[in-house]
Amino acid sequence: MLNLHLLYPEIGLAVFALVLLTADLFFKGGKGKFLYFLGVFSACLTLGILGLAYSSPETYQGLGTMWTVDPLALFFKVLILATVILVLLLSVEYKPEAAHGHLGSFSALVLLSAVGMMLLVSAVDLLLIFLALELVSISSFILVGYERKDLRSSEGAMKYFIIGAFSSALMVYGISLFYGSMGTTRLTEIYPLFAQRSSAMFILGCLLILVGFGFKISMAPFHLWVADAYEGAPTPVTAFLSVAPKIAGMAVLLRVFTHFVPLASLDLSHVLCFLAMLTMTVGNCTAIFQTNVKRLLAYSSIAQAGYMLIGFVTGGILGREGVLLYSLVYLFMNLGIFAVVIHLGNEDGYELDAFDGLAKRDLALALLSTFFLLSLAGIPPLAGFIAKFRLFQSAIQGGWYWLAVVGVLNSVISVYYYMSIAHHMFFREPRRAEPARRGWIVTGTVALATAAIFLFGLYPEPALSTVRLSAEILPARAAGAARAAAPSTGPALLP
Amino acid sequence: MELLSTITFLPLLGGLVILCVPKEKVGLIRGLAIFTTAATFAASLFLLGGFDPNLVGESIPKLQYVEQLNWIPSLGVHYFMGVDGLSVPIILLTTLLSFLAAIYSIGIETRVKEFFFWYLLLEVGMIGVFCAMDLFLFYLFWELTLVPMYFLIGVWGGPKKEFAAIKFFLFTLFGSVFMLLGILALYFASTPHTFNMLELMQANGSWSRSFQIVVFIAFYLGLAVKIPAFPFHTWLPLAHVEAPTPVSVILAGVLLKMGVYGLIRISYSILPAGYEWFLPYLIIIAFINIVYGALCAMAQTDMKKMVAYSSVNHMGYCLLGLAAVSTTGFNGAIFQMITHGIITGALFLLVGVLYDRAHTRDITAFGGLGAKLPVYSGIMALTCFASLGLPGLAGFVGEFMCFLGAFAYWKFWTTLSVAGILITAAFFLRMMQKVFLGPFNEKWKDLPEINLRELIAVGPLAVLTVLFGVWPQLILGLTDPTVKMISNMYEHMFQLVR
């Protein structure tokens, strides 16, 4: 049976990306901004095609030999496309002239990167995973270095490229070891096998694959490229990188390491537990010392990845749901604060004092930025709290008490640097008197993100049930035996 | 009728309305804020109308004005509000102090709109903490007080405001995240999983002692920071001194009470075995709080700092009452919470009044003000006497009951703690002597008398100080039946102590 229709969204988006590349030739100068909107339009259209998969699941969801369209993949595809839409819109507001050549190829690269991520979250074959990851990475390298005349942009791109290439090599090596012990790269075929054939070589292979992903999701100690790449990249690209590839990487990790090859069965849970602790601690403790907003948010995003890793350590249904919920919430709070950063950065640059006295110039924006920051820090009743709560809940339920303790202590540390931004906004005198003039896109994005963090914080039930439905992975494991063992509500009791 | 929700969220409504008012219309904003807090206070008085103090449960508290909604079914969280004899007096204290401090806040001149927005948001959190009977909801309100307080101290505070604000935030958050872990542990330890405090009170029989001790410590870290119990008190003098006057009033008058309330409502009621294990340490901490707090107060020359340390000392009395685990002790602790809120609230207002005029709070800078400012000095003297525990005024009753309750079981430490009363008397009298008596310092010959706005804010507190002193039954009548029931809840467990 030909099941090409499962790939319609990816195909559509890739075609649009090529159209944009061609259109780049015809729209020069001021008209170029039109191309951003064309990119937004194509992402919206793809979102519409995804809607098909939701409306008629029997036709548009299913398992192929290399890829699968299941609720988990759909959930992350929607998030990725939402990120693309918001980032392309925010790019319109991004002023620095250097980035204004070839807007079409800029949009096309963002879309191609999104295609890569959509394939990535659907892939059930390690080779496809690798190819998709390369598509994402190569587009990202170019995006980071897009401001060619800016030395920092080039430096960031160079570092990102070298480390990215290195991590790809590690991953390929891991995949080859995986293939060597299993005789296949298809994840769907291995789980009857690995119980008997689980060997040191296999575990090493899995570990290397994990490390490869560790680079992509900025897991410590593989995070060293993050700050430079994020700082150098054009700010909309930073916003994009801090959200989309990260949650796409999380999705693959979920698929591979909580479903097909559960970490616990490889005895790697403790390793990951340590790495999760390390990631959040390194991210938070380094963020304290940053004076550049983009670097600060880079380290903050490392710490956020650390929190998400809690869900992998615990591995259960609750942990998986926690990661999904965190990805959803993280998208809105992070893009919300980045919208503000882009808006302020146009005039005042990216040092922390760009925020000085914002409360006096634009109280509404200052208040809403504070809410994003508090949500990132996990202060109730905002959405970030609910998501963190879910993850800590999974840690306590699984008996990972120390992980939970380290996690909450890190939340306390993070308050210090998130509030240092609030400090600049509320406690300092403004550098200029006139109110900051907001464009409708910034206003709209900030309003949307605020609505989301309040809605998911105060009335999280719809988000929680969506997440529960989306945590489903095809193929269901061992004819649903795993699911029967772990009841969906009222998880097992701890001692 | 959803009276509790009305009381809790009325300030939020007011705050949102204020956000919509242009910031130039300062008068309107102040009016709205005072109107909101007044309406909230009035609504809380309605609470008294339908409240029957004698309606108490058998083995767990019987709540009144209960509201229960299935809020987040996936997390097992309910919107569960209710009050009993323990919380009603504290809610009244909260709304009253918020109202009076809002009147005093007319004196705030800069960024009025933001001030009242945060102020009203703070009130939501404070009232909510005392109404919430679901641990998740409790935690939510508990944390809701943090952010407004951070901004209230950090923007409108004194010279070291920024450091004080972040220190307050980090200290309190450090404690409360452990409380969050404790809440999660309780959730998973109960079958079926629940955050409902009443159900948890019934479930604790099946938990092991070591589990209760660990969870108790987690909760204690969160509560002790707020109380503040030694050695977690270091944020308090800083925050109190740097905060603007009305915020100091709220901080001392209400926020500190959240910790003591939590100790009775959660630590004692849900984790009796942990509480029992902790008693020998609690009494020592109470002793340190009392004596060390008083000695620190003695060493201060800044009046506000002195009052701040006297709060550490007075919260020690509350802990003493809690360590007694008896009706007298608990009643005393609650009474002490109320009177400390009233008296210390008044003290902070009065110190603020002097500071607004003289721009110094140095005790040695004044002298002979008694003749110059008779009304002000009179009220100040009354409040100081009440605070040092003069019989006939409110402070005495609570302290006496706490000591009486504790002496029955902890003779040694209680006796030592009596020294605290002596030191408290000493530093208050010394302050009064230096500021109000002696030769008049000519530098202050133009000092104006307390004005009407300040009098309206302080007056009711002074009246209540006398009223509760001569007629303590006004409060005890509300609390006593509930407290009797609560202190007998785990009779079998605390027999050894008795």
pLDDT band at B144 (very low <50, low <70, confident <90, very high): very high
The residue-averaged pLDDT of B466-487 equals: 89
Residues making up chain A, counted from first to last: 495
Looking at the structure, do residues A318 and A460 belong to the same domain, yes or no? yes
Radius of gyration of chain B (CA): 22
The pLDDT score that the predictor gives to residue A195 is 65
The pLDDT score that the predictor gives to residue B291 is 92
pLDDT in tens, B344-368: 999 999 999 888 888 888 888 888 8
Query: Would the CA dihedral through B283, B284, B287, B292 be positive or negative?
Result: negative
Take residue B294 and report the two structure tokens written for it: 């008083």
Q: Which of B114, B173, B192 sits opposite A359 (nearest CB)?
A: B114
Asked whether the beta carbons of residue A426 and residue B177 sit closer than 8 angstroms, the reply is: no
Distance in angstroms (rounded) separating the CA atoms of residues A3 and A65 = 10
B211 to chain A: nearest residue by CA?
A495
pLDDT band at A100 (very low <50, low <70, confident <90, very high): low
Q: Report whether pLDDT(A12) > 50.
A: yes
Residues of chain A with Cβ-Cβ distance to B174 below 8 Å are 409, 412
Are B312 and B292 in contact by the 8 Å Cβ rule? The answer is yes
User: What does the H/E/C string look like for A185-244?
Assistant: CEHHHHCCCHHHHCCHHHHHHHHHHHHHHHHHCCCCCCCCCHHHHHHHCCHHHHHHHHHH
The residue-averaged pLDDT of A107-122 equals: 93
The residue-averaged pLDDT of B470-479 equals: 89
Chain A nearest-CA distance from B169, in A, is 8
How many other C-beta atoms are found inside a 10 Å radius of the C-beta of residue A281? 18
Looking at the structure, do residues A278 and A217 belong to the same domain, yes or no? no
For residue B436, the surrounding DSSP H or E stretch is: helix B411-436
- pLDDT above 90 covers what percent of chain B? 46
Looking at the structure, do residues A381 and A233 belong to the same domain, yes or no? no
Are A419 and B150 in contact by the 8 Å Cβ rule? The answer is yes
B142 to chain A: nearest residue by CA?
A380
Cα–Cα–Cα angle for B74, B75, B77, rounded to 5 degrees: 115
Residue A344's identity, in one-letter code, is L
Take residue A337 and report the two structure tokens written for it: 């604060």
Asked whether the beta carbons of residue A405 and residue B181 sit closer than 8 angstroms, the reply is: yes
Report how many domains make up chain A. Answer: 2
Task: Give me chain A's average pLDDT, please.
Answer: 86
pTM: 0.92
Distance in angstroms (rounded) separating the CA atoms of residues A227 and A299 = 7
Alpha helices in A123-199 (DSSP H): 126-144, 151-182, 187-190, 194-197
The pLDDT score that the predictor gives to residue A485 is 39
How many other C-beta atoms are found inside a 10 Å radius of the C-beta of residue A58? 6
For A288, list phi and psi in degrees, rounded to 5: -55, -35
Give residues 399 to 438 of B whose Cβ lies within 8 Å of A: none
DSSP B63: P
Q: Render the burial of B291-321: b for 16+ CB within 10 Å, e for the rest.
A: bbbbbbbbebebbbbbbbbbbbbbbbbbbbb
Take residue B149 and report the two structure tokens written for it: 């307080």
Q: Is the CB of residue B69 less than 8 Å away from at least one CB of chain A? A: no
Looking at the structure, do residues A255 and A274 belong to the same domain, yes or no? no
pLDDT band at A197 (very low <50, low <70, confident <90, very high): low
pLDDT in tens, A356-403: 888 888 888 999 999 999 999 999 889 999 999 999 999 988 889 999
The residue-averaged pLDDT of B33-58 equals: 88
For residue A281, the surrounding DSSP H or E stretch is: helix A269-287
Q: Report whether pLDDT(A205) > 70.
A: yes
Q: Is the CB of residue B189 less than 8 Å away from at least one CB of chain A? A: yes
pLDDT in tens, B246-268: 999 999 999 999 999 999 999 99
**Which among B184, B206, B207 is the top mutation candidate for probing chain A, defined by the most A β-carbons within 10 Å of its own β-carbon?**
B184
The residue-averaged pLDDT of B58-79 equals: 87
Take residue A100 and report the two structure tokens written for it: 């204004």
Take residue A338 and report the two structure tokens written for it: 């980045």
How many other C-beta atoms are found inside a 10 Å radius of the C-beta of residue B353? 25
The pLDDT score that the predictor gives to residue A181 is 85
The residue among B319 and B1 whose pLDDT is bigger is B319
Chain A nearest-CA distance from B494, in A, is 26
The pLDDT score that the predictor gives to residue A274 is 92
**Most confident listed range (A182-191, B6-15, B188-197, B479-488):** B6-15
The pLDDT score that the predictor gives to residue A483 is 38
Residues of chain B with Cβ-Cβ distance to A405 below 8 Å are 178, 181
Looking at the structure, do residues A214 and A295 belong to the same domain, yes or no? no
Looking at the structure, do residues A191 and A52 belong to the same domain, yes or no? yes
Numbered residues of chain A with Cβ closer than 8 Å to any chain B Cβ: 359-360, 363, 370, 374, 379-381, 385-386, 389-390, 392-393, 396-397, 401, 404-405, 408-409, 411-412, 415-416, 419, 422-423, 426-427, 459-461, 464-465, 468, 490, 493-494
Residues of chain B with Cβ-Cβ distance to A374 below 8 Å are 147
Looking at the structure, do residues A338 and A189 belong to the same domain, yes or no? no
The pLDDT score that the predictor gives to residue A484 is 37
Instruction: Count Cβ–Cβ pairs < 8 Å, chain A vs chain B.
Output: 92
The pLDDT score that the predictor gives to residue A490 is 33
For chain A, helix, strand, coil in percent to 5 are 80, 0, 20
Looking at the structure, do residues A177 and A188 belong to the same domain, yes or no? yes
Asked whether the beta carbons of residue A381 and residue B140 sit closer than 8 angstroms, the reply is: yes
Q: Report whether pLDDT(B371) > 90.
A: no
Looking at the structure, do residues A309 and A322 belong to the same domain, yes or no? yes
Distance in angstroms (rounded) separating the CA atoms of residues A123 and A131 = 10
Looking at the structure, do residues A185 and A295 belong to the same domain, yes or no? no
Asked whether the beta carbons of residue B188 and residue A490 sit closer than 8 angstroms, the reply is: no
Looking at the structure, do residues A295 and A363 belong to the same domain, yes or no? yes
Q: Which of A360, A379, A460 sits opposite B72 (nearest CB)?
A: A460
Residue B16 CB contacts under 8 Å (≥ 6 apart), including other chains:
none
The residue-averaged pLDDT of B471-476 equals: 89
Residues of chain B with Cβ-Cβ distance to A423 below 8 Å are 154, 162, 166
pLDDT in tens, B314-332: 999 999 999 988 888 999 9
Q: Name the residue range of residue A418's domain.
A: 268-495
The pLDDT score that the predictor gives to residue A3 is 76
The pLDDT score that the predictor gives to residue A492 is 33
The pLDDT score that the predictor gives to residue A175 is 93
The pLDDT score that the predictor gives to residue B259 is 92
